[in-house]
Structure 1
């Protein structure tokens, strides 16, 4: 991983931890996801979850909470994280979200209008 992607991966991990904290405040602890982050790091954790043919419990739980905006699948699709993931991984992330009825283009447009993670 080159230096720019290493910095981006670090930011991706920090943003994932902020998302976990937000979900924890809403009653979802994401224990398995936390363990995966510790074992594999943020980028590899995201890649493993997205490429697993079976949707994760966490994805289902976020759908129930109406918080798919905090899903790994959605974060993989954010334009500022695109350099971290192969096109095939991004395609799988989009397919999983579409299978859950998410209008991916509309949701990304909504999220991209927000400041980038880590910015005020």
Structure 2
């Protein structure tokens, strides 16, 4: 994998993940992953995510540059939002820093990004 496919770096921003009025994650510990042909993705440490609101879904995907992803559903007010986030528990060595972090789908939840 060359640098032309994926770039990964820490950013100086605060990110809040919201589902309606509920904050699902709030952090300044963010890794931004830029992959050719895709919008930026923000990987958040699990310690900054309300993991008690998430449960694993059955969805799995494979990326030749990152490895195998596991997905999570969000339960909120009796409703389930499927595949709201994903994580690479065993990422490929080139992106090892995203191990056990979560990225959230901005089409399923709101991402508020505030520069620090």
Is TM (by shorter chain) over 0.5? no
Length-normalised TM-score, structure 2: 0.29
Q: Which structure has greater helix proportion?
A: 1
Q: Which structure has greater strand proportion?
A: 2
